[in-house]
Chains A and B, each alone.
Chain A
Amino acid sequence: MLKKPGPRHSLSRGLVFLLFLCNISLAVGDEEVQATAKYSKGANQCMTCHREGRDPAAHEVFLGPMGISGAADSPFAEGSHDCETCHGPSASHRKKAKDGTRPSPAISFAKGTPTGPQNEICLGCHDGGNMIHWFGSVHEEEEVACVSCHEVHAARDPVFDKLAQQERCFACHPRTRAATFRASSHPLRFGEMTCSDCHNPHDGANDFLLVRSTVNDTCYTCHAEKRGPFLWEHAPVSEDCSLCHNPHGSNQPALLTQRPPLLCQQCHSPGGHPATAYTSESEDNSFRNRFLLAQSCNNCHSQVHGSNHPSGVSGTR
Chain B
Amino acid sequence: MNVEQEVSGTMNRFTKKFGFSISTLLPVLLLSAHTPVTEAQDADPSIYSCKQCVKYTGWRGILDFGLGWVSGDSLKFGDYRGLDEKGFYAAIDGDLHYRNLQGLYFDLYAENLGYESREFDMQGGNRGQYELRFGWQEIPRYLGYGTQTPFLGAGTDNLTLPDDWVKANTTLGMSALDSSLVANRLKTKRKLLDAGGTVNFFTNWSYRIDYQRQKKEGTRTLGAGLYYSNSTILPTPVDFTTDLLDMALTWQNKSAQVELAFISSKFKNGDASLTWENPFRSQPELNVFRAALEPENKFHEFSLSGAFAITPKIRLSGRAALGRMKQNDPFLPYTSNPLYSDLPLPRASLDGKVDTNTYNVAGKLFARLNNKFSFTARGKWDERDNKTPVDYYTAVVTDLVPTAARYNRPYSFKRQQYSADVRYRAHRVIRLSAGGRQKNLDRTLQSVERTKETSWWGEVKLNPIVKVQTRFQMEFSDRDISDYIQVDDGGPVNSPLMRKFNMADRNRDRYLVEFDYMPTEALGINLNYFYAKSKYDESPVGLQKSTDQSFTINVNYAVGTKVNVYAFVTRDDINADILNTIGGSSPPWSGDTRDDITTVGFGLSSVINEKSSIGFDFVSAESKGKISVQTTADEPPFAPLKTDLLNAKLHYDREINEHWGYKLYLEFEKYRSQDWAIDGLGVAGINSVLSMGEQSPEYNIWYARIQASYRF
Instruction: Give per-residue flags for A176-206: 1 if the beta carbon is below 8 A from chain B beta carbons, else 0.
Output: 0111011100010011100000000000110
- With A36-B41, A69-B101, A141-B374 given, is the CB distance from A311 to B691 under 8 Å? no
In the complex, the answer to whether B635 meets A279 with C-beta atoms within 8 Å is: yes
In the complex, the answer to whether A290 meets B688 with C-beta atoms within 8 Å is: yes
B100 (CB) vs chain A CBs: closest residue: A70
- B341 CB-CB contact with A under 8 Å: no
In the complex, the answer to whether A81 meets B395 with C-beta atoms within 8 Å is: no
In the complex, the answer to whether A273 meets B228 with C-beta atoms within 8 Å is: yes
Shortest CB-to-CB span from A64 to chain B, Å, is 10
A63 (CB) vs chain B CBs: closest residue: B56
Residues from chain A with a CB closer than 8 A to the CB of B46 are 78-79
Shortest CB-to-CB span from B16 to chain A, Å, is 9
Instruction: Give per-residue flags for B687-703: 1 if the beta carbon is below 8 A from chain A beta carbons, else 0.
Output: 11101001000000000
Residues from chain B with a CB closer than 8 A to the CB of A314 are 395, 397, 491
State the CA gap A10–B492 with chains docked (Å): 64
- B611 CB-CB contact with A under 8 Å: no
- B554 CB-CB contact with A under 8 Å: yes
In the complex, the answer to whether B494 meets A268 with C-beta atoms within 8 Å is: yes
State the CA gap A38–B41 with chains docked (Å): 5
Residues from chain B with a CB closer than 8 A to the CB of A85 are 20-21
In the complex, the answer to whether A310 meets B393 with C-beta atoms within 8 Å is: yes
Residues from chain A with a CB closer than 8 A to the CB of B345 are 310
State the CA gap A307–B295 with chains docked (Å): 9
Residues from chain B with a CB closer than 8 A to the CB of A271 are 492, 495, 582-584
**For B526, B639, B686, which residue has the most chain A Cβ atoms within 10 angstroms?**
B686
In the complex, the answer to whether B50 meets A47 with C-beta atoms within 8 Å is: yes
- A208 CB-CB contact with B under 8 Å: no
A-binding segment of B63-71, B154-162, B356-364, B475-483? B356-364
In the complex, the answer to whether A294 meets B689 with C-beta atoms within 8 Å is: yes
In the complex, the answer to whether A88 meets B22 with C-beta atoms within 8 Å is: yes
Residues from chain A with a CB closer than 8 A to the CB of B290 are 317
Shortest CB-to-CB span from A8 to chain B, Å, is 6
In the complex, the answer to whether A286 meets B687 with C-beta atoms within 8 Å is: yes
- A165 CB-CB contact with B under 8 Å: no
State the CA gap A265–B573 with chains docked (Å): 21
**For A270, A292, A296, which residue has the most chain B Cβ atoms within 10 angstroms?**
A270
In the complex, the answer to whether A129 meets B250 with C-beta atoms within 8 Å is: yes
State the CA gap A290–B641 with chains docked (Å): 19
In the complex, the answer to whether A77 meets B20 with C-beta atoms within 8 Å is: yes
Residues from chain B with a CB closer than 8 A to the CB of A231 are 331, 350, 352, 393, 408
Residues from chain B with a CB closer than 8 A to the CB of A192 are 80, 117, 137, 139
- With A14-B426, A224-B242, A259-B593 given, is the CB distance from A269 to B494 under 8 Å? yes
State the CA gap A236–B269 with chains docked (Å): 24
- B52 CB-CB contact with A under 8 Å: yes
- With A37-B40, A128-B257, A313-B393 given, is the CB distance from A71 to B305 under 8 Å? no
State the CA gap A187–B80 with chains docked (Å): 7
- B182 CB-CB contact with A under 8 Å: no
Shortest CB-to-CB span from B12 to chain A, Å, is 5
The listed residue (B427, B432, B599) touching A10 by CB distance below 8 A is B427
A61 (CB) vs chain B CBs: closest residue: B53
- With A23-B373, A235-B411 given, is the CB distance from A128 to B252 under 8 Å? yes
State the CA gap A104–B630 with chains docked (Å): 67
- A44 CB-CB contact with B under 8 Å: yes
Instruction: Give per-residue flags for B232-265: 1 if the beta carbon is below 8 A from chain A beta carbons, else 0.
Output: 0100000010101000101010000101000001
- B311 CB-CB contact with A under 8 Å: no
In the complex, the answer to whether B677 meets A204 with C-beta atoms within 8 Å is: no
In the complex, the answer to whether B252 meets A65 with C-beta atoms within 8 Å is: no
In the complex, the answer to whether B40 meets A65 with C-beta atoms within 8 Å is: no
In the complex, the answer to whether B501 meets A267 with C-beta atoms within 8 Å is: yes
- B315 CB-CB contact with A under 8 Å: yes
The listed residue (B139, B332, B498, B631) touching A267 by CB distance below 8 A is B498
Beta-carbon contacts under 8 Å, A107-130 to B? 107, 111-112, 114, 116-117, 120-121, 123-125, 127-129
In the complex, the answer to whether B233 meets A299 with C-beta atoms within 8 Å is: yes
In the complex, the answer to whether B250 meets A277 with C-beta atoms within 8 Å is: no
Residues from chain A with a CB closer than 8 A to the CB of B492 are 270-272, 274
In the complex, the answer to whether B103 meets A174 with C-beta atoms within 8 Å is: no
- With A8-B428, A80-B21, A133-B305 given, is the CB distance from A266 to B543 under 8 Å? yes
State the CA gap A59–B55 with chains docked (Å): 10
State the CA gap A43–B11 with chains docked (Å): 13
- With A251-B574, A302-B222 given, is the CB distance from A78 to B11 under 8 Å? yes
In the complex, the answer to whether B42 meets A299 with C-beta atoms within 8 Å is: no
The listed residue (A71, A236, A307) touching B292 by CB distance below 8 A is A307
Beta-carbon contacts under 8 Å, A17-66 to B? 20, 23-24, 27-28, 30-31, 33-44, 47-48, 51-52, 57, 59, 62-63, 65
- B191 CB-CB contact with A under 8 Å: no
In the complex, the answer to whether A44 meets B397 with C-beta atoms within 8 Å is: no
